[in-house]
Amino acid sequence: MSTDGDRYVLVLGCPDSTGIVARIAGFLGEIGAWIVEAAYHSDPDTGWFFTRQAVRADTLSLSVQELRDRFDREVVRHLGPGTSWHVTDTSVRKRAVLLVSKEGHCLGDLLGRAYRGELPADVLEVIGNHHDQEDFATRMGVPFRRISFGDDPQEAFAALADRVDALDPDVIVLAKFMRVLPPWLCERWAGRAINIHHSFLPSFVGARPYHRAYERGVKLIGATCHYVTADLDAGPIIEQDVIRVDHADSVADLVRQGRDIEKLVLARGLRWHLEDRVLVHGNKTVVFD
């Protein structure tokens, strides 16, 4: 039974045309939905329309499945080819798996949020290619699994894929995983794997971005949260932010200050993903934050 705080969240992208808003709003009005949040975006370049609607579940006499069925019949079939949509029920907890390597600042931040109930997801497992973060995950009560990439990376990726898929998560977070996923895995996790890159992309794609930022003498450093695709650090950007640095900052200072911005950017991007606020179209995102 739905409580006062539960929402059904409808997310839709389709070819733009006159009357879509009226059709959706008419449908929601007809079933008596109390709309809590409604956001729309028409993209003139691609001719695509996007919307996200959150309605109070307790104002509806429909189950989420009935809502999906009726929406499909009464709205979606009138929309153009390529339409994609889904309805989620916030009373069903999202599921997250975190991948990590040696550095623990992003993992620590996310597990801390999860511990305090600030993350709208359950963290099912932390998977590390090293043991460094095992102690912390264990202290936080989250299962830790080591998958070594030392001997046979391809085999390790296969094991990783199997384990993750067995957990059936809504999101796989590369929380400083420091390994490039093979194309077949990017494909398999398309739209669900989120990475944090320690630069303001597209600057400093690839390795050692802080070193290269230092050498270039930039006056701001940044971090980028994006969906993982087969193109390295070139997937759809969810969130970015920067902080000011100056000539007195060494590479170590950039690394230290960068950690804080990485944590924030990843946490924001992850929350938006979990709340179905991010719609991907082509290589870009619409973020209804």
Active-site residues: which are they? 233
Query: Cβ of residue 40: shortest distance to a second copy, in angstroms?
Result: 5
Question: Which residues in the 243-282 window bind a second copy by CB under 8 A?
Answer: 244, 246-248, 250, 256, 259-260, 264, 267
- CB crowding 70-81: b at 16 or more within 10 Å, else e: ebeeebbeebee
Q: Taking a C-beta distance cutoff of 8 angstroms, is the pair 62, 70 a contact?
A: yes
CA separation for the pair 241, 237 (Å, rounded):
11
Q: Name all contacts of 240-246 with Cβ < 8 Å and 24+ positions apart.
A: 240/200, 240/201, 240/265, 241/265, 242/200, 244/219, 244/220, 245/218, 245/219, 245/220, 245/221, 246/219
Using rule CB under 8 A, residue 77 touches a second copy: no
Query: Cβ of residue 243: shortest distance to a second copy, in angstroms?
Result: 10
Q: Taking a C-beta distance cutoff of 8 angstroms, is the pair 243, 264 a contact?
A: no
Question: Which residues in the 117-176 window bind a second copy by CB under 8 A?
Answer: 118, 136, 139-141
> Tokens in use for 150?
């030392």
Q: Which of 161, 203, 230, 232 binds a second copy (CB under 8 A)?
A: 203
Q: Which of 2, 6, 38, 130 binds a second copy (CB under 8 A)?
A: 38
CA separation for the pair 236, 190 (Å, rounded):
11
> Tokens in use for 132?
């460094």
Q: Which of 2, 6, 19, 57 binds a second copy (CB under 8 A)?
A: 19
Stretch that binds a second copy, among 24-32, 79-87, 142-150, 158-166 (CB under 8 A): 24-32
Using rule CB under 8 A, residue 287 touches a second copy: yes
Using rule CB under 8 A, residue 23 touches a second copy: yes
Question: Which residues in the 42-61 window bind a second copy by CB under 8 A?
Answer: 42-45, 59
Name which of 111 and 164 has its Cβ closer to a second copy.
111
